Structure 1
Amino acid sequence: MAASRHGQSRFLGGTFMREQTPVGNKYTVELCGNVLYQRWASGAVVTEEDARAVMAKVSALCSSRPRPMVVDISRMGVLEHKARTVFAGAWPLTRVAVVGASPVDRVIVDFYVARHAPVCPTKFFTSFSDAMTWLGITSGQTMNLQRLSRAGEATNHSVRDQSRDARDADRMLNVLLERTEKVISETQAVTTGWPLFSVEAKLTERLHSVLPGVRFIEKDVRAWAARISS
């Protein structure tokens, strides 16, 4: 995949990973007026347990009243498969605006939305002000925006420093998916009648050959092999 200011990025069978050691607490969740603000720490590896902890905190802050939420993933490291499944479930939220700092961040969110179809409307932004507008937050509402504004400004500077624009993210995702589907199709053409374990071995070999910089989890490869064998 592509390099980012966080280090080298890798795609692990649906998990986008930036290689960086997390520092400090993994996340922060705060209620600013009517808006929830959630930020992942630098290099955080987001697990199912983390996702459920955030959900519990969000539920407690909402107090049975659905609210919009802003999520800052500009420093996040890894979003694991089971964590994405939790995030796609039912939350006491009206909308989720995800703010990132690079084309890779956009790919992470686009892939998550396309594959998991979250219950709550979810959209990616590179600007905190655009995110707040989409959430329907007006200046007349009582809320503390100072912290969000500072974080948003830092994100905007980072975005301006990127050598590629957001359209690169779409191209990255499309190329990845197209190449993966092509490998699956080509493997199917040469493994007709093979037992499942042989199909899985051949598919793994082909994926590593065509996409050497990509790492796929066994669960996904097994599912694709089963699709070929069916």
Structure 2
Amino acid sequence: MALRPDGIVQVRWFSGVSIGEADAFVAMAAADSLGGGRGTRVLVDMAGISGLNRAGRAVFARRCSARKVALLGASPVDQVIASFFLRLNIPPCPTRYFSSTAEAEGWLATPAASVGAKRRCGDCLNNGGSTVGLTRRALPGGED
């Protein structure tokens, strides 16, 4: 996970990981921390994940500091996982699936109001004010 020079928080999951509640909570808390708790744009590279369980979906549906989230996948399985999340949950900010990095980044660059946002993220997901480190299992690249 990293804060890019363009202000986008980029999350990259390990291929084959099944995302659960703890993984989702750590990722959201870290993204909030990296973004400084202000309306960040988040690019989630979910290519190759093996699943996202109910508890993980519930965490990702909570309010956070993100103002827009682009889910990036590479396969039909990634699209099914993203579609399942988006149909069963109401994300607190505009969230869309993409199979192209360029399209995802272009969408993230547009103002939220122009993409038909019904709700805005505002409250930062906070773990009692403590900083939560990322686990190597949850996020690749060894950047804890």
Number of equivalences: 109
Does 2:72 align with 1:113? no
Aligned to 1:131: 104
Q: CA RMSD in A?
A: 1.1
Output the TM-score relative to the length of structure 1: 0.46
Q: Specify which structure has the higher proportion of helix.
A: 1
Distance 1:39 1:64 in 2: 20
Distance 1:136 1:115 in 2: 26
RCO (CA 8 Å, sep 6+): is it higher in 1 or 2?
2
Q: 2:51 touches 2:81 (CA, 8 Å); kept in 1?
A: no
Q: Which structure: larger Rg?
A: 1
Select which of 3, 28, 31 maps to 2:3: 31
Aligned to 1:53: 26
Distance 1:38 1:51 in 2: 11
Distance 2:37 2:15 in 1: 30
Tell me by how many angstroms 1:107 deviates: 1.6
Distance 2:29 2:22 in 1: 11
Overall identity of the aligned pairs, in %: 36
Q: Which runs of 5+ in 2 are unaligned?
A: 111-144
Does 2:36 align with 1:63? yes
1:142-181 map, 5 Å: none
Distance 2:66 2:29 in 1: 12
Distance 1:45 1:105 in 2: 12
Moved over 3 A (4+): none
Aligned to 1:40: 13
Q: 2:21 touches 2:56 (CA, 8 Å); kept in 1?
A: yes
Output the TM-score relative to the length of structure 2: 0.72
Distance 1:59 1:99 in 2: 19
Q: Which runs of 5+ in 1 are unaligned?
A: 1-28, 138-230
